[in-house]
Amino acid sequence: MRAPLLMTHRTASLFLTVLLGVLIGLTALGMDMFLPAVPAIADAFGAEPGSAQLAVTTYLVGLAIGQFAWGPLSDRFGRKPVLLGGLGLFVASSLACSMAASLQEVVLLRFAQGIGMSSGPVIARSVVRDLYAREQAAHLLGKMMVVFGFVPVAGPLVGAQMLSWTGWNGVFWLYAAIALALLFTTALGFRETAPAERPPVSPARIAASYALLLGDRRFIAPLVTMLCAQMGIIAFVSNSPLVMVQALGLTPTAFSVLFATVMLGQMGGGYFGARLVMRLGIERMVRIGAALALAGGALLAALAYAGVAHWSAIVVPMLAYILGCAFIVPNATATALSPFPRIAGAASSLLGAFPFGLGALISAALGAAFDGSARPMALAIAIAGAGAFAAERVLFRSIPREADNTPHG
């Protein structure tokens, strides 16, 4: 068995940081590059836009289910082989989607694609905990967030361009090419990081690990805080094409540019968060992020319910909301993973499964509630921001401080 990679320098290598940033961004890539194609897929199969959005919902369900499995499997068999398996499924499902003959096939295959792509963030978060804890883990996660930020910025633009060049099938061809590139990069350049001692895998042991995590306040408090913030992001990502294209009358290209503009807040938050966390500490970073999420969500809802039907009434508040989430997510993730080095994969699975499981419900609900305005989406985001703020004040502030900052506990 290959010995785990231990960090000998203060920061991870540029190669590892970029690779982990791309892997943690796979779930966003599966949404953002696909979104401009939703109206085109509906038109191609003679369906309503709301029906085509089911391909977003099934993708989110696949992400949630997949993340329950990849983490415990990587705790037992190692990060690298499990990641290779997930990327292989990503390749196969993307190619199958490009050849789909009906909307029903696209919807079902997007479920499989979600399962495969969910391996990326699960393994990426697990690797971070293999190497670091607390503020050092948050520092690396913040740097990864900068790399991740390129995905939602470039994804819609690239997706819209592929749509105009090749039609909706071309979006899936590009997914397959990206998956193949990651598969070869991982096979040739990624070294194993999992602890040498690995627990046996069985349904009973997996259930016991999950029960341990869900019964520990050190895990639940950051999970709930992060979960609330992420619900607002998923509400925006899943419903913004209908709001901006159908309700506001923007072209897919214009929507892609504005969507990318909003996601610049994520890059900025990752950059400044990585620089500030070692000075301010995790607790203050989450506190600032929760306040920004509350303010951005409240402003968005106020403008929507005041009847302001302009793209700026969405983009400006969402910039503040996304910036706040970029402060919350890396720091809450590091807080949740740090006490559990030997079941980091299982912890990473839960951190990913809950957001996308609830996100699938929110996506479906917002698709059904769409009334030709931004109001349902704005209300959902405002509630999410308020939830993150309340969770930070009630739960996050009471977490016992972990003194362990060493790899593998």
| pLDDT digits 0-9 by tens, 96-105 | 999 998 999 9
- pLDDT greater than 90 at residue 283: yes
* pLDDT greater than 50 at residue 403: no
Q: What is the pLDDT of residue 7?
A: 40
Q: Where are the domains of the chain?
A: 14-190+202-398
* Contact present, 327 and 273 (Cβ < 8 Å): yes
Chain-centroid distance, C-alpha 163: 23
Q: Which CATH architecture has domain 14-190+202-398?
A: Up-down Bundle (1.20)
Nearest C-alpha neighbor of 297 from the set 220, 374, 396:
374
pLDDT tens digit sequence for 160-177: 888 889 888 899 999 999
CA–CA gap between residue 186 and residue 209 (Å, rounded):
27
Residue 12: pLDDT band (50, 70, 90) is: low
Other CB atoms within a 10 A radius of the CB of residue 180 amount to 16
SS3 183: helix
Cβ atoms of 229 and 284 within 8 Å: the answer is no
Give me the torsion for CA of 83, 87, 90, 92, rounded to 10°: -130
d(C-alpha 300, C-alpha 407), whole Å = 41
pLDDT at 317: 96
Angle at 402 between CA 270 and CA 387, to 5 degrees: 55
Which two tokens mark 349? 């699975």
Asked if pLDDT for residue 402 goes beyond 80, the answer is: no
C-alpha distance from residue 278 to each of 137, 138, 344, 391 (Å)? 10, 9, 22, 23
Give the pLDDT mean for 38-67: 83
Separation of alpha carbons 377 and 360, rounded Å: 14
